[in-house]
Structures are given as structure tokens and as C-alpha cells.
Amino acid sequence: MPQRSVLEGRLIERPNRFLGVVDINGIQVEAFIPNPGRMYELIVPGKHVYLRPAIGNKRKTQYNLIGIEHAGVLVSIDSILPNRFMKRMLHEHKLEMFSDYEAVVPEPSYYNGRFDFKLEGLNGITLIEVKSCTLVEDGRAIFPDAPTKRGARHMNHLARALKEKIADRTAVVFIIQRPDVQVFSPNDPTDPVFSNALRSAAMNGVRVYALATKVVDWDLQLISQVPVELEHFSTLH
């Protein structure tokens, strides 16, 4: 898949969550931020950023803001990449935690919504939800960085699918779009509802994984699976 040219610039301001104003060689342009997160620690005026020209004539902005240099680390903020990465890894059977499957079905419909992937094979049916993570503090990846009712609903549905025997296994995979990470935890201070839903899902059999990645040619490359500590914030008082 050919890559469109990626341009570099300096962030001037962020008028709203999905819009950035960027200086490219003295010219100010507006760029869509393809990520629903707050990313307050990342999207700061003066940061070195990366943009890709947008496709389509109906777009209000000419560019997508897809990456940021933060503390010497290149962070992808493109929320499309984790699912693309996961799809590739599943098709190539590159993830040890998922095995003995023959078919990868994207976006299967369940509970008046969709999961990201369904695996079919000798182990029966596995349902997978993928979440993009960009927030890292002192080596700890944290999700979410903004409250997500949709995310909590997904966790409840993964547990429900097991209880109702719709699936033989279910899992949530947090794709960390930066390499400077050693461990993953849910973000209780920002979204206790999601964090409790994740812990409840795990207690009811939903498998929780976190993968550290790095940007290579503006796609994600797997570095390693990182440990998951579900109780980190809930036990801090």
C-alpha cells in the first residue's frame, strides 16, 4: 500500500479536540486530529508534529495530524492504525496469545453493535476488542485519557458474550502507539466506570493484553507484550 507523503510542522494551537493549526515552513494550515482522546500532554503548542495530506474533496481540512514528537519519542495519534496493525498481525498469525484459528472476521455484529474482530477455528469463536492507547506516565501506559461510555459498554459485552456462550474466548487488546512503556493500567482517576468495567470483565474471563509498538514507515511495528496491572490506581489512596 503506497504511503502518501508525510509532512513535518510545528503545532500552533488546538482550537478544539479534533482540530490543530500547524505551521509548515511559515504557512499555517488546519489539520484534523484523528483521535477522540484529550491528549493534553501531547498536543501542546510548539510541538514538532507530522501530517499526511487528506483524501477526498468533501474534507474541511487538507491534512490529518498523525504523529507528535514528545520527550524524544515519536508517538502515533492516528486511531486507525491500531486496528490496521491488529488485522495484519492476526492474518499473519503473529500473536502468540491467539492460536488455532482459521478465519479472521472484521467487525462482527453483536448486541446492536460491533466488536473489532472474530476468530474462528479449532478453539471455537474468539471475540476481540482493540483499544488505542497514547498516554504514558513514567513508563506506565494508561487508558483511557478521556471518559468512554462506549469503552465500558464493550467490556460489559465481552463478558456477556462469554456468559451467554456466544464466544469461547473474548479479549481486549490495548495497542500502545509508542515504545516508552513497561506496564499497562486502566485510568481510574479519569474514568472509574471504564476501569471498573475492565476489572469486572477480567474477573469474568475476558483476557486483557497490552502491546507496545513503534512507528515504522507510518505503520505500527510490534515491540513486545507488556504486563497488565489492573489494580494500580484503585489501590492508591
Cis? peptide before 144, omega within 30° of 0: yes
Out of 3.30.565.10, 3.40.1350.60, 1.10.1740.10, 3.90.420.10, the CATH code matching 81-226 is 3.40.1350.60
Helix (H) or strand (E) holding 131: strand 124-133
Q: Which residues of 20-51 are buried (b: 16+ CB within 10 A; e: fewer)?
A: bbbeeeeeebebbbbbebbbeebbeeebebbb
Per-residue pLDDT of the chain (237 residues; tens, 9 = 90+): 345 689 999 999 999 989 999 999 999 999 999 998 899 999 999 999 999 998 876 778 989 999 999 999 999 999 999 999 999 999 999 999 998 999 999 999 999 899 999 999 988 999 999 999 999 999 999 999 999 999 999 999 999 999 999 999 999 999 999 999 999 999 999 999 999 999 999 999 999 999 999 999 999 999 999 999 999 877 654
What residue ranges do the domains of the chain occupy? Answer: 7-76, 81-226
Nearest Cα neighbor of 147 from 110, 189, 105 is 189
Sheet (strand 124-133) strand order: 101-106, 117-121, 124-133, 169-176, 207-216, 219-226
Given a contact cutoff of 8 angstroms between Cβ atoms, the answer to whether 65 and 33 are in contact is: yes
Q: What are phi and psi of 114, to 5 degrees?
A: -140, 145
- Domain spanning 7-76: which CATH class is it, in words? mainly beta
Measure CA of the first residue to CA of the last residue in the chain; give whole Å: 49
Global pTM value:
0.93
Place of cell 483521535: 35
Nearest Cα neighbor of 34 from 45, 46, 49, 47 is 49
The reply to whether 7-76 and 81-226 are identical in fold is: no
